[in-house]
Amino acid sequence: MFRLIITATLITLLSACTMQVYKLNIQQGNIVTQDMLDKLKPGMNKRQVAFVMGNPVLKDTFTTRQWDYIYRTERREDEINEYKIRINFDQTQITRITKVRYQVRPNL
């Protein structure tokens, strides 16, 4: 009986030592797909952009001529991707769309 308890305890301890911690994939910010970006056209007004893209994460407080959409994905420890989409307006319509992708390596 005593050997059975010791064996069960050792098996439990060894199996606990070999387990790895599960890390989630994390997504933050506005989820922006290529389909959404394809729908944006120069000349669209702000209401149409908000319908396609949703509300921006950042709005410039000094001017309403620039909207920034930021999207970040973390896939475990492998890679971190960050996307920034900036939409510039004249008074009411899109004048320029800028997309930038950064790949950030995690600190190990």
Give the pLDDT of residue 103.
66
Give the pLDDT of residue 23.
66
Distance of CA 100 to CAs 7, 25, 83, 103, Å? Answer: 57, 21, 6, 10
Give the pLDDT of residue 104.
67
d(CA 98, CA 88): 8
> What's the N-to-C CA distance of the chain in angstroms?
46
* Torsion (CA) 97, 44, 93, 54 in degrees, nearest 10: -70
Q: Which of 48, 47, 53, 57 is nearest to 35 (CA)?
A: 53
pTM: 0.64
Confidence band, pLDDT 50/70/90 cuts, at residue 17: low
Q: Which of 96, 78, 102, 93 is nearest to 29 (CA)?
A: 102
What integer is the mean pLDDT of 8-21? Answer: 70
Domains defined for the chain, CATH in brackets: 24-104 (3.30.1450)
Give the pLDDT of residue 20.
64
In the chain, the percentage of residues whose pLDDT exceeds 70 is 79
What integer is the mean pLDDT of 66-81? Answer: 78
Strands (E) in 4-76, as ranges, are 25-29, 58-59, 66-75
Contacts of 78 (CB under 8 A, 6+ apart): none
Give the pLDDT of residue 55.
86
